[in-house]
Amino acid sequence: MTDNAQDITGKVKGNVAFPKEWIVFAPFPFEGGENPELPEENLTDIPEKMTIAGQRAVPAKVKPTRSQYNFSPFFGDPPYDDAQMAYVFLPLESDAEQEVTLGMGADWYLQAWLNGTRILNTMPDGNNSSPAAINNYLIDVQLKKGRNVLALRFINGVNGAVVAAGGPEELRAGDFISIMPPLDKELDAEALMERYPADPQAPIKWRVPEGFDPRADGLGLPAMNEAEHFELLNCIPSKAPLDEGGTGKYESLRHGTWNHNIAPLVPFKDRLIGVWQNHALDENGPGGRVLARVGKIINDSGEVDWNREGSLIEPAPAPVPVRRRKEHSDHDAIRGAKANGTFQIIGDRLFFCGSFTALHGVTTDASSRKGQVFPVEHFRFGRGPDAPRAGFVRWDLGVRFYQEWAVKDDRLQPVSPLYKDNEQPEEIQLTPELTLPLEPLVPPYSDAPLLSEAPQDFQDLVLGGDRKEFSRVPRFPEGGRAVDAEGHQQIAAGHGSTYRRPDGAWVAVVENKASQAGPFYYSAEKAEDEPFFPPPRRSNLFGGVKPAAGELPDERDYIICNSPNRRNMYLLISEHGRQFNQTWLLRHERLSDYTPGSMKSEGGPGSGPQYFKAEVVGESLWIIYSISKEHVGATRVPISSLSKPN
């Protein structure tokens, strides 16, 4: 595989004219093993017609642009929920027997045969390079004298359907620029907002600062020099996973290079508690645990000492031995349990309230990714070409656990046993035809007493006591995956936040995962007495990842935003909650010492602060976040600094 023309010029062999028109048979449904490739003897010549899975296609002639063809006329416009298939036939006329170099690539899966002999297969992993170009894969082949037939079998990706193919002449010309429109990250502010115009009915408007550039480090925003940054966890690589020769146990509280799923900050008496989930390497991996850093609030200004002895704690240890997360789940048992939870103030007491979930398998049913008995046709053990966008299924293991904590001897520590509400089931039914055993929990959960044995006041509080609310998540009628005003069901309610305007209305600011949404936050408003937000609308507020929002003591509203590349954290302030006129860059970070892990690629290498949670403490606005899903940081913004002109 090569990256540019300079690398390959001397490697290109032979000469043969490549067709200026391609012969295409499409579209066909792709259903994994149910629609395998055609027999090789059917790929030695160009057929008059083709029928696959009951669908008939006749040859269509298409003209590529710069050796690339976009199959959207056959497949429709992306993103694609379903995989579709096309066959392409390219006759090559050679004056003599010779060795030539062919180049090809695709978005996303491609197979190639020359005269019925396979010469390329990217089905296992896809193209492994983006965008698709003829220099993605170089293949030296032997042509016979006269007519040769190059046959391609192509399956689209999620966000594109482009095939690139060329011969020696095209490779030597070195024109590998994609025919697809420029990526969002390549556009300046004006072009980006022209591509994704804001809905005039969106309830928030951003006064774009002069000098804003979405392509620049720091976005060209004015810096908040008064902000202070703190390191809550600088993690250490772990060798704990059992399936890689480890003991299945973490070496220390600092071990484990996946630290994410940040919980709301909890101020309790003179302590401020930051909570997150931790795993040896992988996002939501088996044996995941919950860690916390406990700082002491040292004055009315809201300054916090995070470096006291015993400030890093483990309120929820690993529920099963630590293992790696697999791309395809085991077929014989569910071994993916991890701990979830956070501290909650109930009455005037502090409890850690937790649960267990396990990721196992994927579903093609977009309406739900929560564990249930799925129809057989909707369940898979992992993603594949037939289900490239299948959602990972999160199974609730049916156990809740509770423990009371308090400040004792100047440290936050447990003051009760850990209680569980019932025993974990021995098995889980995944489909009408599939039930798998569940790996048993390890101590302290396996031998924890039942909640029914706890003191009555403990039971009353954890089951029905008034909980103090911190970070708020918007609610939509559809639940966690809501519909936007344009009809796309890609609003991630859990990746949103809310604030209350001075006039009493509530406003939601959310991430929209639909590719048509662009790198802008969506927003919606509702009255106090309405239970749900209406479909949100695209605002002109640049950002692509989970925001945080809330109110300052003087009733001004704030939004903490994240750039799509997760490198920039910036703060907006509004007097009335409608137009945000003040903007400051709080932190720009690009982590270089990154440790790879499963499902860490999004928000992982080359990224920085992300998944913010914010809380006002005294005269400070505190923000906690992960850094590249690896380390954990916090930022303090003095509220007095938010009154200066901007």
What string of DSSP letters covers 472-538?
A: -----TT-SEE--TTS-S-EEEEEEEEEE-TTS-EEEEEEE--GGG-SEEEEEEE-TT-SSPPPPEE
Whether residue 1 has pLDDT greater than 90 = no
In the chain, the largest separation of any two C-alpha atoms, in whole Å, equals 91
pLDDT score of 603 = 59
Least confident of 25-29, 322-326, 544-548: 25-29
Amino acid at 200: P
pLDDT score of 487 = 84
Which residues have C-beta within 8 Å of that of residue 611, sequence separation ≥ 6? Answer: 260, 261, 262, 545, 546, 562, 603, 625, 626
Structure letter (DSSP) for residue 36: P
Adjacent-strand bridge partners of 117: 114
pLDDT score of 470 = 87
Residue ranges of the chain that CATH labels 2.60.120:
5-180
How many C-beta atoms surround the C-beta of residue 451 within 10 A?
Answer: 17
CB 488 within 8 A of CB 516: yes
pLDDT of 22-78, one tens digit each?
999 988 887 655 556 778 888 889 998 888 877 888 889 999 988 899 998 888 877
pLDDT score of 6 = 44
Q: What is the chain's length? A: 646
Joined together, the tokens standing for residue 526 give: 């509702």
pLDDT-above-90 percentage for the chain: 69
**DSSP-H helix ranges across 181-334:** 189-195
pLDDT score of 471 = 82
With bands split at pLDDT 50, 70 and 90, how would you rate the model's confidence at 157?
Answer: confident
Distances (CA, A) of 274 to 18, 413, 573: 61, 15, 24
CA distance 611 to 603: 10
CB 152 within 8 A of CB 132: no
Q: Report the CATH fold assignment for 195-643.
A: Neuraminidase (2.120.10)
How many C-beta atoms surround the C-beta of residue 464 within 10 A?
Answer: 9
Higher pLDDT, 559 or 156: 559
CA distance 292 to 277: 9
CB 572 within 8 A of CB 621: no
Whether residue 457 has pLDDT greater than 90 = yes
CA neighbours closer than 13 Å in the CB half-sphere of residue 64:
24
Report pTM: 0.80
Least confident of 83-97, 319-333, 364-378, 550-564: 364-378
With bands split at pLDDT 50, 70 and 90, how would you rate the model's confidence at 4?
Answer: very low
Higher pLDDT, 213 or 39: 213
Query: Residues 590-607: what's their mean pLDDT?
Result: 69
Q: What are phi and psi of 331, to 5 degrees?
A: -90, -10
Classify 189 as helix, strand or coil: helix
CB 571 within 8 A of CB 558: yes
Adjacent-strand bridge partners of 271: 268, 296
Whether residue 284 has pLDDT greater than 70 = yes
With bands split at pLDDT 50, 70 and 90, how would you rate the model's confidence at 7?
Answer: low
CA distance 230 to 387: 42
Buried b (16+ CB within 10 A) or exposed e, 268-285: beebbbbbbbbbbbbbbb
Rg (alpha carbons) of the chain, rounded to whole number: 28
Burial (0-12, 13-18, 19+ Cβ within 10 Å), 149: middle
Selected from 1.25.40, 2.60.120, 3.30.70, 3.30.1120, the CATH number assigned to the domain covering 5-180 reads 2.60.120
